[in-house]
Amino acid sequence: MSRSSAAPPALDHLAAAVARLGHSAMTDSRAALLRLRLPLDHGAAEVLLIPDRDDGDLLCLLPDWLVLPNPLPDPGARGRLAELLLAANFELALAAFELDPHGGEVRLRLTLPLAGARVTDDQLARSLAALRHAAERYWPAAQKVLWAGSEPAAALEDLSIS
Domain residue ranges of the chain, discontinuous segments joined by +: 11-161
Residue range 59-83: average pLDDT? 91
CATH architecture observed for domain 11-161: 2-Layer Sandwich (3.30)
Residue range 17-34: average pLDDT? 92
Residue range 15-37: average pLDDT? 93
Q: Tell me how far the alpha carbon of residue 82 is from its chain's centroid.
A: 16
Cβ atoms 10, 17 nearer than 8 A = no
Contacts of 16 (CB under 8 A, 6+ apart): none
pLDDT at 6 over 50: no
pLDDT at 123 over 60: yes
Q: How confident is the model at residue 21 (pLDDT cuts 50, 70, 90)?
A: very high
Q: What is the C-alpha separation between 108 and 21, in angstroms, rounded?
A: 21
pLDDT at 5 over 60: no
Instruction: Give residue-wise pLDDT tens across range 132-153.
Output: 999 999 999 999 999 999 999 9
Name 109's bridge partners.
Answer: 61, 96
Q: Tell me how far the alpha carbon of residue 153 is from its chain's centroid.
A: 22
